Amino acid sequence: MKLISWNVNGLRAVAGKGFADIFTELDADFVCLQETKLQEGQIDLEFLGYTSYWNYADKAGYSGTAIYTKHLPISVTRGIGVDEHDHEGRVLTLEMEEFYLVCVYVPNSQDGLRRLDYRMRWEDDFRAYVSGLAARKGVVICGDMNVAHEEIDLKNPATNHFNAGFSDEERAKMTELLGAGFVDSWRAQHPGEAKYSWWSYRMRARERNVGWRIDYFLVSEGFKDHIVSTDILNDIFGSDHCPVELVLRT
């Protein structure tokens, strides 16, 4: 079973850059999207054999998540049940027979870390949410988690130490999440490899491969034996992020 996660940085924009062909070629069981930047009814983009589910932000043109799936879920949940967080369309959960699939677009702490205090509350509430799911069955979390966890996860750790996405506080919260019983599937399979999933649009960053790994598949500890393979598909363009892949044995 193949799962894809991709921050498309505007689904309408990437739809004009070959998204449909990429989607078809990937031939995944689940395609999870972040930062769709859509409101309901703003795009008609369906694929034969797939059902799609969406979570929209209240604010137009902002955030948003979606999942295309070949497999009908038992249930669909939008948000994490905390009102402070559930107006930006950031979390979409499908309950499948063997596992929960959680598509997430984690809030950015922004320049000067001005949204860091909110981000810290989000992290604690999100960790509580997915831990509750993991108490019932396996959990797969995917998405743009807006943090490079270790120095190997970005090209220039020294110069980014106090920047959003690589602050001590954000990195510590990822450590807490993993410590709560989740496995970073890519790092587990590629312990010494530096490969990136996001590049700034500035300074020819992608051309120079000056990137960050901020897109993840996390798997609950009890479900990790289902991992077959992981990949970062950095030869696929259309967004400032590339897709990431997880193949599961089910």
Residues 34 and 37: their CA atoms lie apart, in Å, by 8
SS3 119: helix
**Distances from the Cα of 217 to the Cα of 48, 157, 161, angstroms:** 25, 22, 24
SS3 176: helix
Residues 220 and 180: their CA atoms lie apart, in Å, by 9
Catalytic site includes residue 144: yes
Which of these is catalytic: 56, 68, 129, 144?
Answer: 144
Tokens of 18: 């070959």
User: Do 144 and 105 form a contact (C-beta atoms < 8 A)?
Assistant: yes
Residues 44 and 205: their CA atoms lie apart, in Å, by 32
Pairing mode, strands 91-95 and 99-105: antiparallel
Question: For residue 16, what is the DSSP state?
Answer: T
Helices (H), 5-113: 11-15, 19-26
Which of these is catalytic: 56, 100, 105, 216?
Answer: 105
Which residues are catalytically annotated? 105, 144
